Amino acid sequence: MKKRHIILAGLLFITPMLLYAGMWQNPQRPNVVVIIVDQWRAQATGYSGDKNAITPNLDRLAERSVNIKNAVSGMPVCTPFRASLMTGKYPLTTGVFMNDVMLDTSQTTIAKVYKNNGYTTGFIGKWHIDGHGRSSYIPKNRRQGFEYWKALECSHNYNQSAYYSGDSDKKLFWEGYDVIAQSNDACQYISGQAKSDRPFTLFLSLGPPHDPYHSAPEKYRKMYENKSMEINPNVPAENREKVKKDLIGYYSHMSAIDEYIGKIWQTIQDAGIEKNTILVFTADHGDLLGAHGSWNKQQPYAESIRVPFLIHYPAVFGNGPKTSSILLNSPDIMPTLLSLSGLSIPPSVEGVDFSEVLKGTKKDQVTHTLISCVQPFGQWNRGKGGREYRGIVTTQYTYVKDLKGAWLLFDNIKDPFQLTNLIGNPAHAQTQKKLEKMLTETLKQRKDEFRPGMEYVKKWKYVVDETETVPYQTVNYEGKKIVE
């Protein structure tokens, strides 16, 4: 009798452990590899028809993936995008609406969810949601659920790129051009994790093709040395020569990234895990690169807000090319990936789960998505024409208003380079009225009162300089001095 009780007690103790181990070994639980690049606009790939771009690996990946052609960076600047990616929330909810502020460590993040469901989690590259200075060590409690760690808050010195590894606060440096070194490290991580019974998720966050444009290795710059660069018609004549030079550097970074995305993809194939691995390629925002006479991001034009988004998952989507017109916004990435992974979406998430729409089992009900700038800063501060705005994007239109009223209306199908602002055009009065109503309802739903930006800065107690920008090198999100 006693022996039977001991056996039963042992089974009761062991069974939960076996169930948990079985969860890790569940073949339906996919691995997840997310490659994020910085400042890559949607139009700048071979598969999207850009004759400037030399991106053979991405073009080949697009032939075997779902190409989400209307993906949008809802607040097209680095830190807000990354906070939305990590939490599935909008910037005004997290308070992360400017660069170089901190995402609260109490947030429920995508890495924490994967980790709590038996995944190993890894992050390599640019972090940019810590708010303690761009070169400062980021301790484990501020890594938002990532275990494997080779990262730095932010650097655009791609050939002398620093990082911290594991739990050491010793600053290290990637060997050579960081795209190559970080991608090789990602390949090693994938190969190692593929041998484990546990699924894994890896985020590889690359700094290029963000400027400085002319810092890619010579091999890639030579690819464009004698290439005739096409300039978009929305680039003013006085900017065209500068744009030609910058495009050569911009696309050189892209070709380097393209080669190493090919290597990462090949590593996944060689490891025998391609069928059950979700591979994503996207960007945090685009780059105006002279469009409308401007550079970089933040502004509501297509070159700034539209980003590439490929999702390769053969077990669910097969190996053929598919194009989706869903309006995927930054907060929608987390719930969509979690759902595709068979995981529950936390109630804190505000984004849309598009997984069933992508599978073709549900009709798309989303007609528009929100874009915004809560507080202009940095490269687009008020002295440089920056302004608060709220807007919506549909599959055809972009409509934007600033604090003074209606500002921009473009028909993106008839006018893809947004050369003609239709605000106040009598022939489009009904369209403008309809879009204004949609925007008003969206802001009401989001509890967004659309106030002047500095009111939100004061609410969140951010310390800014004379340009209303968080001074990222010397002051953290609490205004305390940082020694770097």
SS3 of 306, please? Answer: strand
Q: Are the beta carbons of 472 and 133 closer than 8 angstroms?
A: yes
Of the CA atoms within 13 Å of residue 150, those in its CB half-sphere come to 17
128 included as an active-site residue: yes
Exposure string over 132-156, b if 16+ CB within 10 A, otherwise e? bbbbbbbeeebbbbbebbbbbbbbb
Picking from 477, 483, 484, the residue whose alpha carbon sits closest to that of residue 103 is 477
- Tally DSSP H helices, then E strands, for the chain: 14, 14
Phi-psi label, residue 385: left if phi above 0, alpha if psi -120 to 50, beta otherwise: left
The string of DSSP letters for 181-222 reads: HHHHHHHHHHHHHTTSSS-EEEEEEEEEESSPGGGS-HHHHG
Selecting among 5, 128, 214, 312, the annotated active-site residue is: 128
The whole-angstrom separation of Cα 358 and Cα 322 is 9
Query: What phi, psi does 429 have (nearest 5°)?
Result: -60, -40
State the residue for tokens 């076996």. 18
The string of DSSP letters for 44-111 reads: -SGGGT-SS---HHHHHHHTTSEEETT-B-SS-SHHHHHHHHHHS--HHHHT--STT-PPPTTS--HH
Give me the sign of the Cα torsion angle 405, 411, 415, 417.
Answer: positive
List, edge to edge, every strand of the sheet that includes 389-393: 369-373, 389-393, 397-402, 405-411
SS3 of 476, please? Answer: coil
Local structure of residue 438 (DSSP, 8 states): H
Other Cβ atoms within 10 Å of 415 Cβ, number: 15
DSSP alpha helices (H): ranges in 360-459? 429-445, 453-459
Selecting among 78, 154, 187, 373, the annotated active-site residue is: 78
State the residue for tokens 């600033």. 402
Local structure of residue 134 (DSSP, 8 states): T
List, edge to edge, every strand of the sheet that includes 148-152: 172-173, 162-165, 148-152, 120-126, 200-209, 31-38, 277-283, 309-312, 66-68, 322-324
Query: Token digits for 342?
Result: 């068979």
Active-site positions? 78, 128
